Structure 1
Amino acid sequence: MGFHNLSFYMLDEDTIGHDDVIGKVSLSKEYISSHPRGIDSWINLSRVDPNEEVQGEISLELQVLKEAHRQVLCCHIIEARDLAPRDISGTSDPFARVLWNGQVLETAIIKKTRFPHWDEMLEFVLEEETIAGAPIAVEVWDWDMVGKNDFLGRVEFSLDALQKAPLKGWFRLLPFPSTEEDAGGKLGALRLRVRLAEDRILPSRYYQPLIDLLVESILCPPEEKDDVTPLAMLEEVCSVESRQDVATKLVKIFLGQGLVVPFLDYLNLHEVSRTTDPNTLFRSNSLASKSMEQFMKVVGMPYLHEVLKLIINRIFEEKKYVELDPCKIEPSRTRRISFKGSLSEAQIRDSSLEVLKGYLRDIIEAIVGSMQKCPPVLRMAFKQLHRRVEDHFPEAENQDAKYIAISGFLFLRFFAPAILTPKLFNLRDQHADTQTSRTLLLLAKAVQSIGNLGLQLGHGKEQWMEPLHPFILSSIGRVKDFLDRLIDVDTENETSENQSWTPFHPSATVKEGYLHKRKAEGLHLVSRFTFKKRYFWLSNETLSYSRSPEWQVRTSIPVQRICAVERVDENAFQQSHMMQITTRDNGGQLSTMYIQCKNVNELNQWLSAIRKATISNECMLPFCHPGAFRSNRWTCCLQADRMVRGCSRTHSAVTLGDWSDPLDPDTEAQMVYKQLLFLREKLREKCLEFTSKETTLDEGRGAQKDNKGQWMSAAARLLEVIQDLEQAHKAFEHQEEEEAAAASTAHS
């Protein structure tokens, strides 16, 4: 929450040695905050000035002491933390330098640490004629035996202020004032979309009225189809741009309530009932279509991985040249296909056709054979959708509508996008290269055509796809049969809806995979043999691991015992992408397990996932050691006392909005509230419109209504909930301000 800058670095990857930095874009928190709707633009890269690449804080005590015949400026240089690593080892050799009025004093050099402890007193005798106006600067440098020292940051103070009152505390290290001129776009530009969202999540009881209001629309559906419920009102005032966010939050809220199938059925019924042409069904970005799409991503990702991962990996590994479009065929690239030289266009098309049909055959086989792998809650939602479409379009000429409604979501909005961009669905760690990407595009087009039951074949501009049409048409019957079996769900599942959303049970796995672990206790030597490959599972209840996924014996750590989840400096084990998990046993004893991930993205995902699971733990530590205790000292701060307090602050930052997030009803409800707050004026207009209609109707009937016992309009009830939540937020904000003021007074 307290970050100051967000920087993006563009690098040139080198196989040998360090990657070269091309340039960077740096955005201050103030600049990002000044764009509440977000930044979306091309921004020129600027040169990277080493004197600007600073981080960390320094602990100082500064005061002016008056002696008999002179004044002395006393600078107590205590320690620093989280300094930038400047050496290959991932550390620095820091020393502090104090500058005043042309005089310079320096501390000792502390070798190989980003958390130096100096505890040195540096003194200047102040001369009367030079006291006024001369600032005091404290700088931190990395000492180098060869070449010039590296700048690590500085902080500046006014001597006039020090003479009035001493200063003591932690101060953020700042860069030298920049003298670098803008590169003027010579280094290129980076397209960025950045938005800062900071929210205060209130205790659960404050969101319950909002959740109850939304759930009421499902549990107590309106007697007349034209009656307005709070949920229908939310859909009506919600903008097209925000529907995807709102849909994701609503899906998670109703999953948490065990009512996701009735919720989707409610939206789908509204969507179907107002559609006259089955060919346009769910083609718009309505709340119903967005909710179904997000619902599949939230509950169906493990299913998607089981169906597609093996074939996607094979496509990436084989890297076959595939092309059907005669305008894009490059004969020179086909030498990989034939050692006899370049093939003709006809040979390339024939070869490509066979490769595509082979891949498609495996994809369709995997899909139509996946009925038992599909989550029951997903099958129930499709069954309800099938029923609604069949009832609304019973005509013989519309018999395919009930199939297209399901396949439109399952094939066009789930399988096909995952084939097109596997990285976005966590099927691959990296995006495909150009050649593989073209293969995936052609396969995605074919899968879309199959999902459309071949209705669009021959009507598009891409006539060169025609050689695949026979295969596509031959697959349609199998797909229909698969959909019939998919929605053939037992009535037992229908009556036990609360048990059907198993992906979000507290004991359900949130994240899993192979990692390398090492306990802090035991061997002092560091070697690759001290790290053991283990398969980890994380749920909201336990973090467990074993030798392999099939291994029966697991070691489990209760999540409630975890009190810190932090990164580890590279110099601790001479290994990158490391994190540590600190736990407390029943006797209060702390123990640490070190874990290595295969890359920085996996490290961030595990950090975020475990922090989410421990977000309610009351035993979390405020400080930790980002190093390890080896050779009788901490590698980070070089302290010899194993039990000394951590030299770095712990963190709780998590990545929000991931499809695999565990349910957090308070966060979801807060996001819905923020959307409603943004739409408050629209709701007020609807409320007035509704009230005027009711008044006119009552006058026509000559009836007198008692408002106390009557059902209020949806807009008015939503406005009431918004107002209550707004007041609660203001009360918490006022309380925080009072606590901060009290802490400041106590400190001074």
Structure 2
Amino acid sequence: MAKSSSLNVRVVEGRALPAKDVGSLGALRLKVRLTEDRVLPSLHYQPLTDLLMESALDPTEEDTASPLALLEELTSGDCRQDLATKLVKLFLGRGLAGPFLDYLTRREVARTTNPNTLFRSNSLASKSMEQFMKLVGMPYLHEVLKPMVSRVFEEKKYMELDPCKMELGRTRRISFKGALSEEHVRETSLGLLTGYLGPIVDAIVGSVGRCPLTMRLAFRKLGQRVQERFPQPEHEDVKYLAISGFLFLRFFAPAILTPKLFDLRDQHADPQTSRSLLLLAKAVQSIGNLGQQLGQGKELWMAPLHPFLLQSISRVRDFLDRLVDVEGEEVAGGPARVLVPPSVTVREGYLLKRKEESASLATRFTFKKRYFRLSGETLSYSKTPELQMRSTIPVSRIRAVERVDEGAFQLPHVMQVVTQDDAGALHTDYLQCKNVNELNQWLSALRKASAPNPDKLAACHPGAFRGARWTCCLQAKRSAAGCSRTHSAVTLGDWSDPLDPDAEAQMVYRQLLLGRDQLRVKFLEDPNPDTTLEADTGVGPNVLEGDYPNDLVRQRTMAVRLLAMLEDLDRAHEEFQQRERDQAASRPLGP
């Protein structure tokens, strides 16, 4: 049976204001787009996913005829980033993220002649590695950077090295002698910056053992491929720059610059803190560049930081050597990577909690404030974050995580966590979040953590048992079967989305649909009317050997195969829509 998934939905919330204040707010124009996709059963995507997997395992360095190569030619800009995200998730779900990234890396280095431009473009290889780091490395990133980023937010120190941006007047409130000199502000800022940078660099270079094994293996392969392509002594630093270009320039530095986008903070920084983060991010980026661009460009005012940055470069080289000094190989076709590590806290915060009540008790709509922590093993809670006495719910006992109708408790943003005890009895905890965004984030995290659990419920009640009946379906038995189907995932459109290979395959299919005409024009429309191309072999009877370059023949063959798969998926979607129409027509009309 097909399932549906809504994608790229963003909700903007506001608060109710008194009528007298409404006129002073101005106007806000929003453009909202809702995309709904029907995701078919897995068997319909099997030919497409098998073909993609085969290309990732292809030993050829520069295979211009693989479906991945054709997909890259058919996409650009934001579409390429979306495609990279879907492909990484698809290959992660098959345990083939390593071979997939290695295949793209081999293609990239084979096409690069100047090592200074390696991975500098927004190629499919660059975008895929970037999305891969977000998907597998976010808990690692949080563990390394969150303490110092939080400290910057909390201390709100004024730091500035650029004379054009210094606000000398703001120092009057801390000095009885009036505004301080530019030199004094620079020296104070330098001390503050190095005071933050020191612990940041220490945390990074000391994090080898905490970096996910999958990331370390991917970086090891990356370094090997780059070294094979540029073995000359003068290119000794290229392998370091390739790895640090991703880890520092596309992971650590952007997270410091915009912590909210990496879930390091709940809110964006104020202007002063944002400027401090920018200076720190610039410094980390310079360290990741191994100091190659120090003293160049227009930002010569960064010179006071250069001694500290130069001292950090040797430590970074040693860190990268230790990072890729790892044994083992990712097994092709092996089990998918566990998205929620057992011991890592993936989400925490205050929620309002209420347990279901037995039929003998009077109904009381009281929610108690508790601090929740979710890891891959447990969902625990206590009155405060510091309290050691905690109540614990094993994640392995979760059977459903669903929204609750607002009318059940006359409260918004409530979800339910249904668990099963050793005796087989089901229990429900109701949790209220402060807004819809937090609700979706908790739903996603809980469903992702409990995804491997067996015996998940197929249906549950979106209401509450109140007044001797369910508010949703009005059934009078508390043990009555659920009236609404359960869900396996919440699509947030970011790294925290659960893996759903069928949904990812559907999006790849959609991307191919967008490029279907281009695929047909570029590879199948022959300028010579005397030649044809047949679907079974890819080469028609009128094509003589040598008439076309071998790569073009193989590209045409692959284009034919992809177009045939698109037709099969088109047909499957049409049959599903027809069944929906038939079912709707057969339903009896209301009174």
Q: TM-score, normalised by structure 1?
A: 0.66
- What is the CA–CA distance in structure 2 between the aligned matches of 1:300 and 1:199, rounded to whole Å? 29
The residue that corresponds to 1:325 in the other structure is 162
Is 2:62–2:106's contact at 8 Å kept on the other side of the alignment?
A: no
Q: Which amino acid aligns with 1:199?
A: D
Where 2:268 maps in the other structure, the secondary structure is coil
Query: Which 10-residue stretch deviates more, 459-468 or 728-737?
Result: 459-468
Query: Which 10-residue stretch deviates more, 190-199 or 692-701?
Result: 692-701
Distance 1:219 1:8, change over 3 A: closer
The residue that corresponds to 1:723 in the other structure is 567
The residue that corresponds to 2:39 in the other structure is 201
Offset of residue 608 of structure 1? 3.8
Q: Is 1:257 aligned to residue 94 of structure 2?
A: yes
2:576 pairs with one of 706, 710, 732: 732
The residue that corresponds to 2:521 in the other structure is 685
Where 1:682 maps in the other structure, the secondary structure is helix
Is 2:397–2:420's contact at 8 Å kept on the other side of the alignment?
A: no
Q: Is 1:661 aligned to residue 501 of structure 2?
A: no
- What is the CA–CA distance in structure 2 between the aligned matches of 1:561 and 1:385, rounded to whole Å? 40
Is 1:502–1:508's contact at 8 Å kept on the other side of the alignment?
A: no
- What is the CA–CA distance in structure 1 between the aligned matches of 2:404 and 2:421, rounded to whole Å? 19
Q: Is 1:699 aligned to residue 534 of structure 2?
A: no
Distance 1:284 1:532, change over 3 A: closer
- What is the CA–CA distance in structure 2 between the aligned matches of 1:642 and 1:238, rounded to whole Å? 55
- What is the CA–CA distance in structure 2 between the aligned matches of 1:640 and 1:197, rounded to whole Å? 34
1:621 pairs with one of 434, 442, 460: 460
Distance 1:511 1:568, change over 3 A: farther
Is 1:568–1:580's contact at 8 Å kept on the other side of the alignment?
A: no
Is 1:624–1:646's contact at 8 Å kept on the other side of the alignment?
A: no
Where 2:267 maps in the other structure, the secondary structure is coil
1:594 pairs with one of 411, 430, 449: 430
- What is the CA–CA distance in structure 2 between the aligned matches of 1:403 and 1:2, rounded to whole Å? 41
- What is the CA–CA distance in structure 1 between the aligned matches of 2:322 and 2:304, rounded to whole Å? 30
Where 2:59 maps in the other structure, the secondary structure is coil
In the alignment, structure 2 segments of 5+ residues that lack a partner are: 527-531
In the alignment, structure 1 segments of 5+ residues that lack a partner are: 12-17, 24-46, 49-185
- What is the CA–CA distance in structure 2 between the aligned matches of 1:694 and 1:713, rounded to whole Å? 7
The residue that corresponds to 2:259 in the other structure is 422
Distance 1:409 1:528, change over 3 A: same
Is 2:380–2:390's contact at 8 Å kept on the other side of the alignment?
A: no
2:416 pairs with one of 580, 604, 617: 580
The residue that corresponds to 1:565 in the other structure is 403
Q: Which amino acid aligns with 1:206?
A: H
Q: Which amino acid aligns with 1:737?
A: R
Is 2:444–2:496's contact at 8 Å kept on the other side of the alignment?
A: no
Q: Which amino acid aligns with 1:619?
A: A
Where 2:250 maps in the other structure, the secondary structure is helix
Q: Is 1:673 aligned to residue 517 of structure 2?
A: no
Matches within 5 A, 1:471-490: 471-490=308-327
Size of the aligned set, in residue pairs, is: 562
Offset of residue 621 of structure 1? 2.9
The residue that corresponds to 1:391 in the other structure is 228
Higher relative contact order (CA 8 A, sep 6+): 2
Task: Give the helix-richer structure, 1 or 2.
Answer: 2
Offset of residue 716 of structure 1? 1.1
Q: Which amino acid aligns with 1:216?
A: E
Distance 1:347 1:669, change over 3 A: same
Offset of residue 596 of structure 1? 3.8
Offset of residue 472 of structure 1? 1.3
Where 1:359 maps in the other structure, the secondary structure is helix
- What is the CA–CA distance in structure 1 between the aligned matches of 2:36 and 2:370, rounded to whole Å? 39
The residue that corresponds to 2:275 in the other structure is 438
Task: Give the strand-richer structure, 1 or 2.
Answer: 1
Is 2:66–2:555's contact at 8 Å kept on the other side of the alignment?
A: no
Q: TM-score, normalised by structure 2?
A: 0.83
- What is the CA–CA distance in structure 1 between the aligned matches of 2:374 and 2:381, rounded to whole Å? 7
- What is the CA–CA distance in structure 1 between the aligned matches of 2:277 and 2:304, rounded to whole Å? 17
Q: Which amino acid aligns with 2:337?
A: T
Offset of residue 464 of structure 1? 1.2
Q: Which amino acid aligns with 2:578?
A: H
The residue that corresponds to 1:494 in the other structure is 329
Matches within 5 A, 1:502-581: 502-504=337-339, 511-514=346-349, 515-521=351-357, 532-537=370-375, 544-545=379-380, 554-556=392-394, 558=396, 561-562=399-400, 564-566=402-404, 578-581=414-417
Distance 1:713 1:509, change over 3 A: farther
- What is the CA–CA distance in structure 2 between the aligned matches of 1:330 and 1:563, rounded to whole Å? 51
Offset of residue 228 of structure 1? 1.4
- What is the CA–CA distance in structure 2 between the aligned matches of 1:335 and 1:579, rounded to whole Å? 51
Distance 1:525 1:681, change over 3 A: closer
The residue that corresponds to 2:529 in the other structure is none
Q: Which has the larger radius of gyration?
A: 1
Offset of residue 581 of structure 1? 3.0
Offset of residue 534 of structure 1? 4.5
- What is the CA–CA distance in structure 2 between the aligned matches of 1:463 and 1:659, rounded to whole Å? 36
- What is the CA–CA distance in structure 1 between the aligned matches of 2:348 and 2:12, rounded to whole Å? 29
Offset of residue 298 of structure 1? 0.6
Offset of residue 20 of structure 1? 5.2
Is 1:562–1:614's contact at 8 Å kept on the other side of the alignment?
A: no
The residue that corresponds to 1:210 in the other structure is 48
- Deviations 1:296-354, CA, capped at 9 Å, x for gaps: 00101001001000000000000001111111111222246546543222111110111
- Deviations 1:4-34, CA, capped at 9 Å, x for gaps: x9985666xxxxxx655899xxxxxxxxxxx
- Deviations 1:140-198, CA, capped at 9 Å, x for gaps: xxxxxxxxxxxxxxxxxxxxxxxxxxxxxxxxxxxxxxxxxxxxxx9545464533210
Where 2:120 maps in the other structure, the secondary structure is coil
Offset of residue 649 of structure 1? 7.6
Distance 1:455 1:536, change over 3 A: closer
Distance 1:389 1:20, change over 3 A: farther
Q: Which amino acid aligns with 2:416?
A: Q
Offset of residue 406 of structure 1? 0.7
Is 1:250–1:668's contact at 8 Å kept on the other side of the alignment?
A: yes
Offset of residue 520 of structure 1? 2.1
Offset of residue 256 of structure 1? 1.3
- What is the CA–CA distance in structure 1 between the aligned matches of 2:220 and 2:33, rounded to whole Å? 39
Where 1:624 maps in the other structure, the secondary structure is coil
The residue that corresponds to 2:288 in the other structure is 451
Is 2:208–2:322's contact at 8 Å kept on the other side of the alignment?
A: yes
- What is the CA–CA distance in structure 2 between the aligned matches of 1:517 and 1:553, rounded to whole Å? 12
Q: Which amino acid aligns with 1:661?
A: D
Where 1:719 maps in the other structure, the secondary structure is helix
Where 2:38 maps in the other structure, the secondary structure is coil
